[in-house]
Amino acid sequence: MLTGLLLLNKPVDMRSTKCVELVRNKLGRKTKVGHGGTLDSTASGLLIVLIGLATRLSNFVMDMPKCYEVTAYLGIETSTDDASGDVTRSCECRNINERDVDLALTSFLGWRMQAPPDVSAVHVDGKRAHELARGGHEVLIEKKPVFFASVERTSEISEEGRVSFRINCGKGTYVRSFVRDLGRLLGCGAHVCELKRLSCGPLELDRSVDAGLLDDINKEALVEKLLPPESLCAASASYLCCEEGTKRLINGLNISLHDLKRENFARYSSRTGNVIVRSEKIFSICQFKDPSKPYDLYPEVNIINDRSI
């Protein structure tokens, strides 16, 4: 079975679901195709498409930390917190300088509570927030904890009020909300005018295929671009297991950490505590589940390499 990860560079104004559909059409309707987290249509950058058995890794991929490059437009708030919405507030911002911005950024580091944008895919009373907002209903979205590992200003403030940032953050963070909240903290309002995802865990944009060229790529060339599940090993602590351990994992049984050989330490933080265990025959996402057996790992997701069995 065709299995792997395809890294796409999604252009602005192309929906993530459209990218997935194009890949599915190219590989054949019988091939299972999913994704590891979507991007807004107004955003560009890294979109991870999961093929075949790799679709089982969706939650693992979505949990990986992200890196974004964003340009904020100071002085204007919009209904969507980006350039696609209607202007809801305008304010003079020429008195804001780079030092003001840098001081404000420090309050975003680490864990903080964040309200997603009114126009977002968050569920509110069983409906998507964007459906309620665009239907003229008041949207009250509960704040959620998000994590900012770093926020760095990467440009000066232009005459028009534009300023750029590079953000490393955890799962569930809305960059549109960050820009909105930063603008309010500065007292002038702000919205996103450009947003690009640069990386997701160890997977980076510079290894991606231009999604705008998918119509011109044949199936064989696209298959050559697939990355194996092992490309995710740097996203978590990973271990190598022997034949006996492989058999136990395939049968859904626990294995002992003492019987494994460490491959690498985790380079990227995760809230889930997932551990990767693999061999030539299996790629397994495991967790420590039983407090009475602190060294025992239990398989959560197994991807079996049927070509090696």
Q: With helix as H, strand as E and coil as C, how does 116-154 read?
A: CCCCCCCEECCEEHHHHHHCCCCCCCCCEEEEEEEEEEC
Give the separation between CA 100 and CA 6, rounded to whole angstroms.
Answer: 41
- Phi, psi for residue 98 in degrees, rounded to 5: -60, -35
What are the distances in angstroms from CA 134 to CA 41, 80, 120, 242? 16, 10, 10, 55
The DSSP line for 1-65 is ---EEEEEEEPTT--HHHHHHHHHHHH-TTS-EEES----TT-EEEEEEEEGGGGGGHHHHHHS-
The reply to whether 67-189 shares the fold of 4-64+202-227 is yes
User: CB count, 10 Å around CB of 135?
Assistant: 9
Q: What is the pLDDT of residues 254-286, one digit of tens each?
A: 999 999 999 988 776 556 689 999 999 999 999
Its pTM surpasses 0.85: yes
- Annotated domain spans of the chain: 4-64+202-227, 67-189, 231-308
Give the separation between CA 234 and CA 249, rounded to whole angstroms.
Answer: 21
pLDDT at residue 122 in the model: 57
Tens place of pLDDT per residue across the chain (309 aa): 899 999 999 999 999 999 999 999 999 989 999 999 999 999 999 999 999 999 999 999 999 999 999 999 999 999 999 999 999 999 999 899 999 999 999 999 999 999 998 866 554 445 554 554 455 555 667 899 999 999 999 999 999 999 999 999 999 999 999 999 999 999 999 999 999 999 999 999 999 999 999 999 999 999 999 999 999 999 999 999 999 999 999 999 999 999 999 998 877 655 668 999 999 999 999 999 888 888 999 999 999 986 543
**CATH fold for domain 67-189:** Pseudouridine synthase (3.30.2350)
What are the distances in angstroms from CA 113 to CA 164, 167, 177? 23, 16, 11
Residues 189, 78 contacting (CB under 8 angstroms): no
**CATH fold for domain 4-64+202-227:** Pseudouridine synthase (3.30.2350)
**Catalytic residue list:** 40
Strands 275-278 vs 238-240: parallel, antiparallel or unpaired: parallel
Residue 27 token pair: 């590989």
pLDDT at residue 123 in the model: 47
Looking at residue 103, the DSSP 8-state letter turns out to be: H
Looking at residue 82, the DSSP 8-state letter turns out to be: B
What is the CA 109 to chain-centroid distance, rounded? 18
pLDDT at residue 224 in the model: 95
- Closest by alpha carbon to 285, among 238, 226, 227? 238
Angle separating helix axes 175-186 and 98-105, nearest 10 degrees: 120
Looking at residue 218, the DSSP 8-state letter turns out to be: -
